[in-house]
């Protein structure tokens, strides 16, 4: 019985050690229908916040350990999220298939403005972006976007700086994991390259573990306009959150 206990402890410690051991995980990505290799697919290890892309043969290598989650993303294809298993690590060269998204396109007429051909008249008909940004002395960037040009716009921007949104405090101030991931995402070039091409916040949701509605609420409480939320890519969105948090730290005098 005593020997059985020692053996069980040894196996348990070996399993834990194997789980924590980082290895170079190899695999390939192909189209589910044609089975053709897919190049330039972004592969992200969500646990370690590192990314890579597939080569011309659809092959990739990335650091991973047992139970890490890999996230595959390619424009026009359904994202794939898988958990690394022992067999994947043992046998290597796992194949992953991505499914193309079908889009039903309806006929539309793109005619946002009625142009007359007379510059003076046409200029007056072009809508103006009502979002305004206010520069505040002492802050590193151009300031906050107050969202409109009404009389309370400036006070709204300043009030947010001096009374930071609860989301920033709860999601970052009280949760160092999210803050650590925020910094890691900004440091990885491959992930940043992916975020430039994304506008759906799905990768940010997966990486930061924050719901999309909460991400947008953070931006709104930082006084970025709805236009910015709709038109910015995921990297711009991430930088806006990071900038807002850094200014929040400056106002509180924290490190």
**Residue ranges covered by each domain of the chain:** 21-127, 129-252
Q: Taking a C-beta distance cutoff of 8 angstroms, is the pair 234, 201 a contact?
A: yes
21-30, 191-200, 212-221: the lowest-pLDDT one: 212-221
pLDDT at 201 over 60: yes
| 5 burial level (CB within 10 Å; 0-12, 13-18, 19+) | exposed
pLDDT of residue 31: 96
Beta strands 42-45 and 50-53 are antiparallel
- The answer to whether the Cα torsion of 34, 39, 40, 44 is positive or negative is positive
131 or 22, which is more confident: 22
Strands 23-31 and 94-98: parallel
Q: Give me the mean pLDDT over the 150-167 stretch.
A: 46
Superfamily of domain 21-127: Carboxypeptidase-like, regulatory domain (2.60.40.1120)
pLDDT tens by residue, 109-127: 555 556 666 655 655 565 5
Q: How confident is the model at residue 98 (pLDDT cuts 50, 70, 90)?
A: very high
How does pLDDT run across 49-60, given as a tens digit for each residue? 999 999 999 999
Strand 94-98: give its sheet, edge to edge.
59-64, 23-31, 94-98
- What is the reported pLDDT for 159? 46
Average pLDDT over residues 136-148: 48
Measured CA to CA, the distance from residue 27 to residue 89 in angstroms comes to 10
**The pTM of the whole model exceeds 0.75:** no
CA 59 to chain centre: 23
């Amino acid at each position: 019985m005593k020997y059985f206990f020692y053996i069980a402890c040894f196996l348990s410690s070996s399993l834990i050690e194997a789980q924590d051991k980082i290895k170079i995980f190899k695999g390939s990505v192909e189209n589910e229908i044609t089975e053709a290799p897919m190049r330039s697919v972004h592969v992200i290890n969500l646990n370690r916040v590192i990314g890579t892309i597939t080569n011309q043969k659809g092959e990739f290598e990335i650091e991973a350990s047992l139970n890490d989650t890999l996230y595959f993303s390619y424009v026009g294809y359904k994202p794939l999220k898988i958990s690394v298993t022992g067999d994947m690590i043992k046998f290597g060269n796992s194949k992953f298939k991505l499914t193309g998204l079908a889009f039903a396109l309806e006929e539309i007429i793109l005619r946002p403005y009625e142009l007359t051909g007379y510059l003076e008249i046409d200029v007056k008909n072009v809508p103006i972006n009502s979002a305004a940004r206010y520069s505040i002395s002492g802050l590193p960037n151009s300031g906050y976007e107050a969202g409109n040009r009404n009389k309370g716009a400036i006070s709204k921007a300043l009030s947010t700086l001096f009374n930071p949104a609860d989301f920033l405090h709860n999601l970052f101030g009280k949760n160092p994991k999210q803050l650590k991931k925020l910094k890691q995402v900004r440091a990885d070039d491959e992930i940043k390259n992916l975020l430039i091409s994304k506008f759906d916040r799905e990768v940010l949701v997966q990486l930061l573990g924050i719901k999309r509605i909460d991400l947008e609420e953070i931006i709104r409480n930082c006084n970025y306009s709805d236009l910015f939320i709709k038109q910015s890519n995921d990297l711009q969105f991430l930088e806006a959150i990071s900038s807002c948090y850094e200014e929040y730290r400056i106002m509180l005098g924290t490190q």
